[in-house]
Amino acid sequence: MSLFPVLNRTPAFLSLVLSAAAIVPFGAASAQDFDPAPIVEIMRANAGPGTHRPSGAKGQCYAAEFVPSAAARDLSKAVIFTRNTPALVRFSVGGGNPNVADGSRGGNRGLSIRIDGDGPGQTEFVMVNAPVNFAKTPAQMLAFLESRRPGANGQPDQDKIRAFNEANPETLAQGRYLASQPIPGSWVGVNYWALHAYTLTNATGARQVVRFRWEPLDGRVDLTDDEARAKPRDFLAAEIAGRLAANRPTGLRMMAIIGRPGDPTNDVTRRWDDEDTRRAVELGVLHVRAATDAARCDSQIFAPTILADGIDGPAEDPMFAVRTPAYAISITKRQN
């Protein structure tokens, strides 16, 4: 029996996941450096019994379409930048609770995308609405999660958390960023970041390091804490349904933030200097078209290392290498 029986994937995909070396064949930061299984295990322990996904457990799946800009071809030869392409999207609310209120302040909002899932441009991103991650290496992520593991009384030990935070101040940046922001009033009303540094290669072979930020097509939708509290528990899917019914723009612009020599490319806890104001090129628009069966998103993983020719992930970022194997383990452990 296949190790990943529920993954409806090509043999090429399976060999990518199963052969960690093939995921990052050219860099030092291969997934072989770190076994993601203990991370998945503690994510599931912290999320509680009966966990489905231990992160982004609550979500909604949509059929979508990616429409590239003309400028995208200057930066990348990827086939998704040459024609309109079907996509699958899953928006989520952070954490392992599938019944969490959409207006909750804790946790992030997530965006997973698969563009051209059946074609040569297959490209996948799994993103959050923060420009930094809470850990820069898998070891640090494991220690972060361990420090928050519930004890015999069902609660984590606050002294342990304090000690970890003091020794690892960069792990607090994501939480601080989210705490500084309004609560998203729409899944398409907030920015998402793919976090890692990617390299785009165009048809002449010119290479450009970028970070991807996906921005609301129709403006931000922000809620105060009081407004969020007054919303129904599941208002995010209803908000998208309302947009689609009224034919309002429902999508996100894919922006490439242009890198410069010296920008860090191996640390997802760090932003680039003046990242918010530096040049960014619009690569296209993701139009959300219709809600679709949850099974379309739940029967497969979104795999951040699957990228079309013309888009490369960072060989030297250990968090990038470990993600697809972690998701491949997680799908085999999901319950209910």
> Which residues of the chain form contacts with ligand HEM (CB under 6 A)?
36, 39-40, 43, 53-56, 59, 90, 92, 110, 112, 126-128, 133, 138, 141, 195, 268, 301-302, 319, 322-323, 326-327, 330-331, 334
Residue with smaller CB distance to ligand HEM, 36 or 259? 36
Alpha helices in the chain (DSSP H): 11-18, 20-23, 37-47, 72-75, 138-147, 158-167, 173-180, 225-230, 235-245, 294-298, 318-333
DSSP string, 180-216: HSPEESSTTSS-EE--S-EEEE-TT--EEEEEEEEEE
Task: State in Å, rounded, how far the first CA of the chain is from the last one.
Answer: 22
Residue with smaller CB distance to ligand HEM, 44 or 287? 44
Residue with smaller CB distance to ligand HEM, 195 or 210? 195
Residue with smaller CB distance to ligand HEM, 56 or 121? 56
Question: 156 near 147, Cβ under 8 Å?
Answer: yes
Could you tell me the smallest distance in angstroms from the CB atom of residue 296 to ligand HEM? Answer: 11
Q: How far is CA 96 from CA 100, 201, 250, 294, in A?
A: 9, 37, 26, 17
Could you tell me the smallest distance in angstroms from the CB atom of residue 319 to ligand HEM? Answer: 4
Residue with smaller CB distance to ligand HEM, 243 or 323? 323
Q: Which amino acid is at 325?
A: P
User: What value does the CA radius of gyration of the chain take, rounded to a whole number of Å?
Assistant: 19
Ramachandran area for residue 95 (φ above 0: left; ψ -120 to 50: alpha; else beta): left
Could you tell me the smallest distance in angstroms from the CB atom of residue 175 to ligand HEM? Answer: 14
**Is there a binding annotation on residue 327?**
yes
122: enclosing H helix or E strand:
none
The number of angstroms, rounded, from the C-alpha of 221 to the middle of its chain's C-alpha atoms is 20
Could you tell me the smallest distance in angstroms from the CB atom of residue 70 to ligand HEM? Answer: 29
Using the Cα atoms of residue 271, residue 276, residue 279 and residue 281 in order, give the sign of their dihedral. positive
Could you tell me the smallest distance in angstroms from the CB atom of residue 133 to ligand HEM? Answer: 4
Distance CA 161, CA 74 (A): 47
Residue with smaller CB distance to ligand HEM, 144 or 235? 144
Q: Which positions make up the binding site? A: 327
Could you list the residues known to form a binding site for heme, using ranges: 327
